[in-house]
Chains A and B, each alone.
Chain A
Amino acid sequence: MAASPASKAYALPHDLPLDSGQALSGVEIAYESYGELAADKSNVVLICHALTGDQYVASTHPITGKPGWWERMVGPGKPIDTDRFHVICANVIGSCMGSTGPASEASDGTPYAMRFPVITIRDMVRGLVALLDGLGIERLHTVVGGSMGGMQALSLAANWPERAARVLVIASTARHSAQNIAFHEVGRQAIMADPAWKGGDYYASGASPDNGLAVARMAAHITYLSEEGLTEKFGRRLQDRDSKSFGFDADFQVESYLRYQGSGFTQRFDANSYLYITRAMDYFDLAEEHGGRLARAFEGATSRFCLVSFDTDWLYPTSESRHIVHALNAAGAKVSFVELSAPHGHDSFLLEHHALDRVVQGFLE
C-alpha cells in the first residue's frame, strides 16, 4: 500500500479568534483538492467532513490505506464531478490529520493537550473561511457536508452568507439534542476514565488511551446505524463458534464487529481530538447564536439550500432537518428538502444510495 503524499497545508497569517474569547496562533490547516480550478474561481465545492472524518474525501487515507471516505460521491463523472468542479476538503481545527489540534505543538514546543482552547463549530468554519481567503476564493459554488459537516455548512451560511451560492446539508441538525450530548458524554467519560489518558498528557508517555477511545467509538458507532441494519447484518449470530462460551469474549458477531471498529479507530485518531470535537458539536446551537430564533440565522440569505435526511437516522432524525427547513421558509430562503428511505441509519449518507446521488447532482446543476 502506497501512502498518499502529505496534504497541502495552509499557515494562517494571523491568529484565529475563537468563540471562547481566546485566539489560536500559528494555525495550520491541512487540505486536499481535486479537479481544475476555473480561471474565475467560480467552480469551487467545499466539502466539510464529519466528526472523525478528514480531508481525504476522495484519496487514499495515509494511515489506513483505505479509499477516500466519500469516493462514491466525489470524482470524475461522480455526482460531485471533479471534471467540472474544483473540490476542496480541509481537516477541521481540533482534529488530528494535519490541522492544528490538541496534539499539535504549542509555543513552548510541547503538545497542547488540554491546554488547547475549547472550540466551536463556528470556530472550525472560521478556520475554513481563512483558508478560502488564503486561496483567494470569495464565493463557493457549493458548500456541502453530512453530519458534523452539515453543521459547518449551516454555520457558514448563517455567519458568512455571501460565501456560498449553494448550501447542501445531509443528515444533520441545527443543534445537539440532550440525547446527542448524552452519547458524546459517554464517549468522553470512557476516554477520561482510561488511566493512560493522564489528564490528556499522554503524548510523551509512549501509551495513549486506546481502550477508552475504542469504547467511545463503539458507543458512537451504534448511533450511526439503525436497529434494522444491525439486525440484518448480525442478528444474534455467533462469532466463529457454534455455541455461547459462557464467558465474556466476543460471542456475538455484533460484539466482534464493534471491537474491530473501536480498535481500528484508535490507529487513526487522537483521543484528545475526540474530546474537543465532540464538545464543539455539543455546544452547537445555531438558533442560540442568533437570538434564539433559527429563522434569524438565515435572514437575508440569498443562497439556495438543500437538506436531505434519512428515514432510519435516529441520531439526527428527519424532524431536525424539517426544523431547519421551516426556519428557512420563514426567512424566505430558497430551499429543497427530501427525506430519503435507506436501511442503514445515520451512516446512509456515506453508503450507496442512487436517489442521494441524483439529488446531489441535480442540486449542483
Chain B
Amino acid sequence: MTALATQLRPDLAAIADHIEPGSRVLDIGCGNGDLMAVLEKQFGCDARGIEIDPVRVERSVARGLSVVQGDADRDLANYPDKAFDYAILSQTLQTAERPDRMLDELLRVGTKAFVSFPNFAHWRTRAALMFGGRMPVTRALPVSWYETENIHHVTVDDFRELARLKGARIERSWFFANEREIGAPPFAWAANWRAEFAVFQLSR
C-alpha cells in the first residue's frame, strides 16, 4: 500500500488498492474527499463526489476536487448508465431511503461498485441488544437511535442476500474490526459475527 493511501480509513484504503489507475470513479458520500484526493493525485483517476453535508463539500471543493452537494437518494438518477468504472458508496447504504434501489443505481452508473457499511450483527452490537435490551451504541455505531442517520441497519448476511436478490455478483469482500482487516478467507464465514465494518466489491 502506498504512503498516501495508508493515511486513509482502512475501508477506504482497501477500496483505493483495488481501483485501476486512470479510471473514472464516483464517490458517493465522499466526506472531506480523502479517498478522492488519493485516487486523483496518486492513481491519476477522474474522481467525482457526492456529499450531503455543505461544510464537507466546501472543504472538498477548496481542495480542488469535483464534489457536488446532493442527496444520493435523488441525484444519482441524473448520471448516465455506466458513466463510471467504479461507483463507491462508503458508509452511506444504511442511511439511504431505499438501500435496494440505491444498489441498483450504483450498478447502473458504475461498471463495478464498492459498498461499505457498519455491520449490525457484530458481536458487540448483539451483546448490547441482548444484555442491555437497548438499541446499541457502540464504537462502530456511536449515535443514539433517535439521532442516528442510519435508518436501515444492515448485517453482512443481509447484504449478501440483497446482492443475491439483485443479481449482483460479489467479487471481493473485506472485513474490519479494531481498524484492522480481519477474517480474510477462509474465515469469511465468521464475518457476520466478527466484522465491525464490511466492504464489498460488486458487479452485474
Q: Mark B50-71, 1 if CB is under 8 A from A, else 0.
A: 0000100110111111111110
Knowing A306-B61, A362-B61, A363-B61 are in contact, say whether A334-B66 is a contact too (CB < 8 A).
yes
CB atoms of B83 and A338 under 8 A apart: no
Selected from A306, A330, A363, the residue in CB contact (under 8 A) with B80 is: A330
Contact assessment for A363 and B54 in the assembled complex, using a CB-CB cutoff below 8 Å: no
Does B79 touch A at the CB level, under 8 Å? yes
Which residues on the B side are within 8 Å of A341 (C-beta)?
54
**Min CB distance, B34 to chain A, in Å?**
15
| B42 nearest CB across to chain A (Å) | 17
Query: What is the distance, in angstroms, from B44's C-beta to the closest C-beta of chain A?
Result: 15
Measured CA separation A359–B68 after assembly (Å): 12
State which residues 20-54 of B face A: CB under 8 Å: 46, 48, 54
B78 within 8 Å of A (CB atoms): yes
Residues of B within 8 A of A362 (CB): 61-64
Does residue B171 face the partner (Cβ distance < 8 Å to A)? no
Residues from chain B with a CB closer than 8 A to the CB of A64 are none
In the assembled complex, B75 has its CB within 8 A of some CB on chain A:
yes
CB of A338 within 8 A of CB of B78, answer: no
Q: State the CA gap A361–B46 with chains docked (Å).
A: 21
Most chain B beta-carbon neighbours within 10 Å: one of A335, A338, A358, A359: A338
Q: How many A residues face the partner with a CB closer than 8 A?
A: 23
Return A15 CB to nearest CB of chain B, in Å. 40
308-350 of chain A: CB within 8 A of chain B: 322, 325-326, 329-330, 332, 334-341
Knowing A325-B68, A341-B54, the reply to whether A336 touches B61 (Cβ < 8 A) is: yes
Determine the chain B residues whose CB is within 8 A of the CB of A358 once the complex forms.
Answer: 58, 62
For the complex, give the distance between the alpha carbons of A282 and B2 in Å.
54
Cβ A335 vs Cβ B66 within 8 A:
yes
Chain B proximity of A41: nearest CB distance (Å): 22
Closest to B51 in A: A338
Answer whether residue A279 sits at the interface, using C-beta atoms and an 8 A cutoff: no
Given A304, A330, A340, A359, which contacts B66 in the complex, CB threshold below 8 Å? A304
B77-101 interface bits toward A, Cβ cutoff 8 Å, 1 = contact, 0 = none = 0111001000000000000000000
Partner of A363, one of B64, B75, B83: B64
Let me know if A355 is at the binding interface, CB within 8 A.
yes
Chain A min CB distance to B73 (Å): 14
- Report if A339-B54 is in contact (Cβ < 8 Å); known contacts: A330-B78, A334-B46: yes
A-B contact pairs, 9 of them (CB 8 A): A330-B80, A334-B66, A337-B67, A337-B69, A338-B54, A338-B61, A338-B67, A355-B58, A359-B62
Residue ranges of B at the interface with A (Cβ–Cβ < 8 Å): 46, 48, 54, 57-58, 60-70, 75, 78-80, 83
